[in-house]
């Protein structure tokens, strides 16, 4: 029997999504660019309530989530058609996907040797699937697997991987070049932010005809570069807090698109980051508007026509 693949671990991904969703509530809309995320959409469309962890759709004695890991069919009580239902085969340490009677399950030692012998650590999804499956097999082989243990294993590990895949800030106040707050420094600051934003939008537009995978990676790089540019701008002290939030938000948007480009190979990270990003209580539009209104309320006047037009878009 093969190790559970990143796609076979869908149940873990579903539970991760449920756990993350209880912590973060959706606040902002999905980016307008259409993204082909068939794998993510499949996961989201599945049952995401707690019954999925203990349900047994085909009543073969093997919970639906375990069918995912054993790669058996949760809607067919005898996946391999050898006359023994999947639950009885697993209980007898047989593979429910290979016709018996000579169909031994992979052993815990085989799994550990495979994991240790791997030259690469794999994605968060790979690591989570292997860890969960090996923990389950250990309890099963020891004969200490109790009712409810499976669900607890999934919950514990899903919280752990959710933390590992967390969307974090990159910058702190110490990374900013903070300067005095005079009309001159604020005017210069507003002009440089506007010019950086204009360059960013122009570069984004140059990739509009790229395919989805190319587009996601390109705009991820553009967002991250934009964030670094924002951090290099000298920031008046009166707007340093807003600017820090702004730079981190732009950087995290870049990370968001990066993980979406890898949704097929690392769906857990994609789902965790997607949930956290959607739960952000700000948006790019709000941040531009906050700065634009500040400039208007404090009578900050700009000389460059492109800067004037830019901030006029965000002033009421």
Single out the residue of 301, 282, 9, 281 nearest to residue 183, CA to CA.
301
Task: Over range 112-133, report the average pLDDT.
Answer: 58
> Does residue 88 carry a pLDDT above 70?
yes
The per-residue pLDDT for range 191-243, each reduced to its tens digit, is 999 999 999 999 988 887 777 777 888 999 999 999 999 999 999 999 999 99
pLDDT number for residue 71:
73
Single out the residue of 47, 3, 2, 6 nearest to residue 267, CA to CA.
6
pLDDT number for residue 294:
93
Single out the residue of 257, 253, 250, 220 nearest to residue 232, CA to CA.
250
pLDDT number for residue 34:
28
What tokens does 238 get?
A: 């009166």
The per-residue pLDDT for range 239-283, each reduced to its tens digit, is 999 999 999 999 999 998 888 887 777 777 777 787 778 777 788
Burial of residue 263 (CB within 10 Å: 0-12, 13-18, 19+) is buried
Sorted by sequence, the CB contacts under 8 Å of residue 311 that are 6+ apart come out as 190, 194, 291, 292, 295, 296, 302
pLDDT number for residue 130:
66
Asked if omega into 101 is within 30° of 0 (cis), the reply is yes
pLDDT number for residue 54:
58
pLDDT category, 80, cuts 50, 70, 90? confident
What tokens does 230 get?
A: 């924002």
pLDDT number for residue 22:
40
Single out the residue of 86, 11, 76, 87 nearest to residue 50, CA to CA.
11
Q: Are 302 and 311 in contact (CB under 8 A)?
A: yes
pLDDT number for residue 69:
63
The count of other CB atoms within 10 Å of the CB of residue 139 is 15
């Amino acid at each position: 029997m093969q190790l559970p693949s990143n796609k076979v671990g869908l149940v873990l991904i579903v539970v991760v999504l449920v756990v993350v969703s209880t912590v973060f509530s959706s606040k902002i809309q999905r980016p307008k660019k259409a993204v082909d995320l068939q794998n993510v959409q499949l996961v989201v469309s599945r049952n995401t309530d707690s019954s999925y962890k203990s349900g047994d759709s085909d009543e073969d004695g093997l919970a639906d989530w375990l069918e995912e890991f054993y790669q058996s069919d949760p809607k067919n009580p005898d996946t391999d058609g050898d006359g023994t239902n999947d639950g009885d085969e697993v209980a007898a340490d047989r593979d429910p996907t290979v016709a018996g009677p000579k169909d031994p399950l992979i052993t815990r030692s085989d799994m550990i040797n495979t994991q240790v012998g791997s030259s690469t650590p794999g994605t968060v999804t790979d690591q989570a699937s292997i860890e969960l499956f090996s923990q389950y097999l250990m309890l099963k082989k020891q004969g200490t697997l109790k009712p409810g243990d499976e669900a607890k294993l999934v919950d514990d590990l899903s919280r752990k991987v959710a933390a590992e895949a967390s969307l974090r800030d990159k910058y702190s106040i110490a990374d900013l070049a903070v300067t005095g707050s005079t009309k001159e420094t604020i005017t210069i600051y507003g002009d440089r932010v506007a010019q950086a934003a204009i360059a960013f939008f122009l570069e984004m537009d140059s990739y509009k005809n790229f395919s989805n995978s190319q587009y996601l990676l390109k705009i991820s790089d553009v967002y991250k570069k934009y964030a670094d540019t924002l951090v290099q701008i000298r920031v008046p002290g009166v707007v340093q807090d807003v600017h820090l939030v702004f730079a981190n938000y732009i950087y995290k948007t870049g990370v968001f698109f990066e993980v979406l480009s890898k949704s097929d190979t690392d769906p857990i990270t994609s789902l965790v980051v997607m949930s956290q990003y959607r739960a952000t209580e700000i948006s790019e539009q709000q941040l531009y508007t906050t700065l634009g209104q500040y400039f208007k309320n404090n009578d900050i006047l700009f000389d460059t026509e492109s800067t004037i037009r830019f901030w006029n878009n965000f002033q009421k």
